[in-house]
Amino acid sequence: MKINGNTILITGGGSGIGRGLAEAFHAKGNQVVIAGRRKNLLDETVLANPGMKAAVLDIENSETIRTFAEKLKKDFPTLNVVIHNAGIMKPESLRDGAVDAEAMVTTNLLGPIRLNAALLPFLLKQPNPVIMTVSSGLAFVPLAMTPTYCATKAAIHSYTQSMRYQLNGTTAQVLELIPPYVQTELMGPRMASDPNAMPLKDFISETMSILQNSPNSTEICVERVKPLRFAEASGQYDAFFKNFNDGMAAAAAAH
């Protein structure tokens, strides 16, 4: 991926990893367009980064996605990079029937699929097109307390592999960013300062370094996520899964 000179759309760009990526790419000399539901966060991010642009997008609404995509193509005719970052993560108690799956499936899975469908034919006509999905280390070792979230991220990993295969032979580069547990407010304010999570600035810095120094990488894995990403290949998956979930459940109970 070219590090500068792109026009980049980042969904979920008003906070967390999305904002971190937006600011990093903006600082490298790219035209960055952030999109999300919360206009106040988009406005705050743009105000702090002169030259950055923003557009409100309800990623759960299929009609809105089509309208958004058409306007985006007109407003930013040089758009060549899309980063599908918007996401929702909520705990679910399956024993109690406390399941909140619809919004997570729609935002985390259907949203990127629908937006991709609306933009991909346009992107393929651009120079140096890049489609980056954002999955999670939890796509490879699920966190049992967030089953639907993990399932959507596993599906995004699978979808990305199929997209990469279908686009083989085109000029498009298909990347998958696989974050570890990062200090954001994805599951509330406490997560943003959890010492067990990777500091956001460190995650963004390492991610940008990989993109710049390993241009042929298809999966962007910081060191901290590799135990999750390669747990199956280690031959110790069952033990890793149990230890990981026992540890996370204990940490959650402590709070």
Q: What is the pLDDT of residues 68-124, one digit of tens each?
A: 999 999 999 999 999 999 999 999 999 998 788 999 999 999 999 999 999 999 999
Residue 183 identity: Q
Q: Does the annotation mark 149 as catalytic?
A: yes
What pLDDT score does 186 carry? 86
Rounded to 10°, the helix 39-48/16-27 angle is 30
Q: Would you say 139 and 95 are in contact if contact means Cβ atoms under 8 Å apart? A: no
| Pairwise CA distance, residues 13 & 11, whole Å | 5
Write phi, then psi, for 87 (nearest 5 degrees): -160, 155
| Pairwise CA distance, residues 246 & 237, whole Å | 14
The matching CATH number, chosen from 3.30.1330.10, 3.90.1150.10, 3.20.20.210, 3.40.50.720, for 7-253 is 3.40.50.720
pLDDT (tens digit per residue) in 170-203: 999 999 999 999 999 888 888 888 888 999 999 9
Domain range summary for the chain, segments of one domain joined by +? 7-253
pLDDT (tens digit per residue) in 125-140: 999 999 999 999 999 9
Residue 186 identity: L
| Pairwise CA distance, residues 71 & 191, whole Å | 35
